[in-house]
C-alpha cells in the first residue's frame, strides 16, 4: 500500500502564486494539482508599434504561455516559450521559471547556475528570492548536497519573506521519508526518521490545513507504522478536500478492507 515518494515541491513564482510543480518518480505516484487561477491574456501584436513599445507586452504574453505549458506538464515547450519571454525582456520571474524548468528536465548544472544568479542578485524581490531558495535546495538535494538543502529548507520555514513555508516543511518531510525507505524497517533509526517526517508534514498542515500531498504522505507514515485507523482518518480528511484524489481513494479502500478483516478475526 506504499506509493513511490515524489520529487520535491517547487514554487514557480511568488508573484503568480502558481502551485507547486510536482515531478514524480513513477506513473503510480502522480499527484493531483490545483487548477491555475490566472487567466491568460492574449495581447495583440500591432505591426505599427515600435519595437520598444511591444517588448514588455510580448515578454508578458510569452511568460503567461510558458507558465500554462509548465502546469500542463510540458516543460520543454514551456522552456522554449520562457526563453522567448527573456529575449524580449529579462525579468526575475521569467528567470526563476526557466531555472525551475531546467531542473524539471534534469539539467541540474544549468539550473543551479541560474538559481545562484537569481539569489545573488540584489534586485531580486525578497519573496521571489525565497521561492528561488526553495527550488535551489531541491536541485542541491538531487545533486547529493543534502546538508545544504536541509539548511535552506529549515531557514525558509522561519523566513518572513517566504510566502509558502509549507512547501519547505513538506520537502523536509520527504527528506526524512526517503531516508526511512533506505533503512531496515525493524530498526530504531527507521522509526526515528518516520517520526521526523511526521513532524514536518504536520508543520506543513498547520500552515495549510488541506495540503493534500502532506495529508497523503502522512497517511503513508501511519501505514508504515501499522496505525491503520489513523491512516484511514487522515485519508478521509484528504478526500473531503479533494474527492477526486484517486490514489487516496484506492488506498483508503485497501485500508478499510484490512481493518474489516482484522475485526472478523
Return the residue matching grid coordinates 478492507.
Answer: 257
Assess if residue 112 is contained within a domain: yes
The answer to whether the Cα torsion of 236, 200, 115, 113 is positive or negative is: negative
* Spatial distance between the Cα atoms of 74 and 96, rounded to a whole number of angstroms: 17
* pLDDT tens track for 56-77: 899 999 999 999 999 999 999 9
Kindly state whether residue 41 falls inside one of the protein's structural domains: no
Q: Which residue range is the domain that position 198 belongs to?
A: 173-265
3-class secondary-structure state, position 122 = coil
Q: Last residue of a domain, which of 140, 163, 186?
A: 163
148 and 180 both lie in a single domain: no
Same domain, 149 and 248: no
| Range scoring the smallest mean pLDDT among 5-19, 56-70, 77-91, 197-211 | 5-19
Spell out the residues 6+ positions from residue 148 whose beta carbon is closer than 8 angstroms to its own.
Answer: 137, 140
CB burial class (10 A; 0-12, 13-18, 19+) of residue 148?
Answer: middle
* Structure confidence by residue, pLDDT tens digits, 115-127: 999 999 999 999 9
Judgement on whether residues 205 and 95 belong to the same structural domain of the protein: no
Which residue did the predictor score with more confidence, 47 or 86?
86
Cα angle 7, 107, 18; round to 5? 55
Q: Specify whether 145 is located in the same domain as 211.
A: no
Q: Would 257 be classed as within a structural domain?
A: yes
Q: Are residues 111 and 63 in the same domain?
A: yes
206 and 247, same structural domain?
Answer: yes
> Does residue 76 sit in the same domain as residue 180?
no
152 plus 265 within the same structural domain: no
CA distance 162 to 18: 14
Point out the domain boundary residue: 163, 192, 216: 163
> 87 — phi, psi (to 5°)?
-60, -40
- On whether both 159 and 208 belong to a single domain, the answer is no
Calculate mean pLDDT across residues 49-60.
Answer: 66
Number of domains forming the structure of the chain: 2
Predicted pLDDT at 53:
39
**How high does pLDDT run on average in the chain?**
82
CATH code for the domain in which residue 187 is found: 1.25.40.10
pLDDT-derived band at 138, boundaries 50, 70, 90:
very high
158 plus 179 within the same structural domain? no
Is there a domain that residue 154 lies in? yes
Greater pLDDT, 187 or 263? 187
Q: How confident is the model at residue 10 (pLDDT cuts 50, 70, 90)?
A: low
98 and 119 co-located in one domain: yes
Cα end-to-end distance, the chain, whole Å: 21
Domain assignment present for 242: yes
Do 12 and 110 reside in the same domain of the chain? Answer: yes
Amino acid at each position: 500500500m506504499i506509493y513511490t515518494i515524489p520529487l520535491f515541491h517547487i514554487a514557480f513564482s511568488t508573484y503568480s502564486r502558481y502551485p507547486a510543480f510536482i515531478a514524480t518518480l513513477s506513473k503510480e505516484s502522480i499527484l493531483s494539482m490545483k487548477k491555475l487561477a490566472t487567466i491568460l491574456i492574449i495581447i495583440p501584436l500591432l505591426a505599427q508599434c515600435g519595437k520598444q513599445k511591444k517588448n514588455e507586452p510580448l515578454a508578458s504574453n510569452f511568460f503567461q504561455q510558458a507558465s500554462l505549458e509548465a502546469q500542463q506538464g510540458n516543460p520543454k515547450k514551456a522552456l522554449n516559450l520562457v526563453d522567448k519571454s527573456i529575449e524580449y525582456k529579462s525579468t526575475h520571474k521569467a528567470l526563476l521559471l526557466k531555472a525551475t524548468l531546467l531542473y524539471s528536465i534534469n539539467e541540474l548544472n544549468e539550473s543551479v547556475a541560474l538559481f545562484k544568479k537569481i539569489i545573488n542578485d540584489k534586485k531580486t524581490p525578497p519573496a521571489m528570492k525565497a521561492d528561488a531558495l526553495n527550488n535551489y535546495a531541491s536541485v542541491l538535494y538531487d545533486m547529493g548536497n543534502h546538508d545544504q538543502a536541509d539548511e535552506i529548507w529549515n531557514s525558509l520555514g522561519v523566513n518572513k519573506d517566504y510566502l509558502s513555508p509549507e512547501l519547505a516543511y513538506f520537502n523536509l518531510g520527504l527528506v526524512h521519508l526517503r531516508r526511512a525507505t533506505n533503512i531496515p524497517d525493524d530498526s530504531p533509526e527507521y522509526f526515528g526518521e518516520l517520526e521526523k517526517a511526521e513532524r514536518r508534514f504536520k508543520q506543513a498542515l498547520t500552515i495549510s490545513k488541506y495540503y493534500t500531498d502532506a495529508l497523503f504522505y502522512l497517511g503513508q507514515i501511519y501505514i508504515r507504522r501499522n496505525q491503520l485507523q489513523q491512516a484511514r482518518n487522515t485519508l478521509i480528511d484528504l478526500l473531503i478536500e479533494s474527492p477526486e484524489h484517486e490514489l487516496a481513494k484506492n488506498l483508503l479502500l485497501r485500508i478499510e478492507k484490512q481493518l474489516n478483516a482484522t475485526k472478523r478475526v
